[in-house]
Each structure stands twice: as structure tokens, then as C-alpha cells.
Amino acid sequence: MRPVLDVRDLTKVYGDGDTEVRALDGVTLQVEKGEYVAVMGPSGSGKSTLMNILGCLDVPTTGRYLLDGVDVGGLSDEQLALARNRLIGFVFQSFNLIPRTSAVANVELPLAYSGMKAAERRRRALFSLDLVGLADRADHEPNQLSGGQQQRVAVARALVTEPALLLADEPTGNLDSHATEDMLAVLEELNAAGRTIVIITHEDEVGARADRLIRLLDGRITADSKPEPAGRHAVGAHR
């Protein structure tokens, strides 16, 4: 079976000459379907650069990236945007929901240009909201939902296109410990149902809940292993 992500010797260099910054310096990484991977590293270690490349928001300077078997390096900007929309569901630290718009309408948005009939879009959005435990909040607008619920709506929106990969950049960064725990439970459930998840986080407790923890330092992978099992219930313990 081909990996969802197949990254070979990626480099990303910003600027040149005296101002040159090697943000990624030979990153090689495969992620198989159904894996739950956390990426951790100090500020400036290259996490966002890696996420932007994995998410087809940016391209590497050198190296090869196959996303679900597609060689991203050979794609035009337009093809890259299509691959991104079809294959990746994004979740960001700030929930990025449209205000004064119901949860279900927010979740439907990625299907807007799919040519799908309105009733089918609605059906899929409700199914997706149900996956994150918010079917009963479909008509609520973002300001009528807690931060944790808003982030779960964002996860439902990321999933509605049935992407090959759920890519989350600090998804619990704006959540309190209770909402963080809810989010981690949702991610675990989704992963148990077979979804492939890559999450960037600063929080040890969050990273420890993934099945695989990758550490970045100065643009290189310095560790790639199972997290310490002690972390499994650590978030709840902080409540």
C-alpha cells in the first residue's frame, strides 16, 4: 500500500546569500494510511514550513513529495490547489469559522464548488457534524458555541470532503484543558475509524496522545518514535 505522505530529502531555503535560512534541511518521512502523527519542536525549528509544504500551501526548494501517490513537485499552482482541496482537510489554531453563519453552513463550505446538489451537501455536512458530536448544534452560529465546539465544527468542515489527510496546526492552542481533552477524544475516535492525522503541537500532553511523535530541530528530524505512554491521560490530570 502506498503511503499517504512520502517525503524524500526535503529542503526549504528562504532568502539567499547572507540572509539565507535553511528552514528544512533534509527531511525524509513516510506516513501510512491510518497513522496519527504529532510533530513537535521549538519555535523556528521548521514546523510551519513543513506543514505548509505537506499541505500544498508552499513548495520545497529541493526534494520530492508524493501526496497520496501524486508527485506534488510537478504540479502547477492550479493543480496544487486542486490537490489541496481534494486530499487535505485543514484545522488551524484559530477556528476560522464564518461568523453569523450556522455550523452546518460552515461545514458545507468546502463542498460549495463541487457541483454537488444542495441536499447532498447538507446531508454530508450533518454527517460530518455527527462525527464530532455536534449534530444537535447544526443551526448554532459560531458565537453561540464554546471555543471547543467551534474547533470541532472546524474539524467537521475539514472532514466533509473526505480528505486523505487531516492536517492540524496547533488545534488545541486556543482551548482550555477541558476542550483540549474533548478535541483529543474526537481525534482519537476519528483515527480509530481509520483517518490519517498529522498534528503540530507545542503541548507535550497533546503530542503524547498521538501514536507517533516526530521531533524537529533546526529543520531536521531528531526523533521519530512512539511517545512515552505516561502521557495518555495527562491532560485530564491537569484539570
Amino acid at 63: G
Please tell me the distance from the alpha carbon of residue 92 to that of residue 146, in angstroms, as a whole number.
Answer: 16
Q: From the list Mg ion, ligand ADP, none, which binds 128 (C-beta under 5 to 8 Å, kind-based)?
A: none
Binding residues for Mg ion, per CB under 5 A? Answer: 47-48
Contact, 202 vs 175, CB < 8 A?
Answer: no
Pick from 4, 27, 37, 47: which binds ligand ADP (CB under 6 A)? 47
Q: How far is the CB of 42 from ligand ADP (least distance, A)?
A: 7
Least CB distance to ligand ADP at residue 19 (A): 8
Q: Binder to ligand ADP among 6, 38, 45, 156 (CB under 6 A)?
A: 45
β-sheet with 36-40: strand ranges across: 88-91, 165-169, 197-200, 36-40, 212-217, 220-225
Residue 55 binds what, of Mg ion, ligand ADP, none (CB under 5 to 8 Å, by partner type)? none
Q: Which is nearer to Mg ion, 105 or 199 (CB)?
A: 199
189 is a contact residue toward ligand ADP (CB under 6 A): no
Ranked by CB distance to Mg ion, the top (closest) residue is 48
Strand, helix or coil at 145? coil
Please name the residue that has the C-alpha cell 518521512. Answer: 29
> What 8-state DSSP symbol labels residue 131?
H
Nearest to ligand ADP of 41, 110 (CB atom):
41
Residue 100 has which C-alpha cell? 453569523
Instruction: Kindly state the cell numbers that stand for 142.
Output: 459560531
Residues 49-108 that bind ligand ADP (CB under 6 A): 49
Helix (H) or strand (E) holding 149: helix 147-159
Q: Which among ligand ADP, Mg ion, none contacts residue 161 (Cβ within 5 to 8 A by kind)?
A: none
- Consecutive H or E run containing 22: strand 21-31
Choosing from 46, 63, 148, 171, the residue that interacts with ligand ADP (CB under 6 A) is: 46
Q: How many CA atoms lie within 13 A of 17 on its CB side?
A: 1
CB of 144 to ligand ADP, least distance (A): 33
Question: Considering the complex, what minimum distance in angstroms separates the CB of residue 45 from Mg ion?
Answer: 8
> Footprint of ligand ADP on this chain (CB under 6 A)?
14-15, 21, 23, 41, 43-49
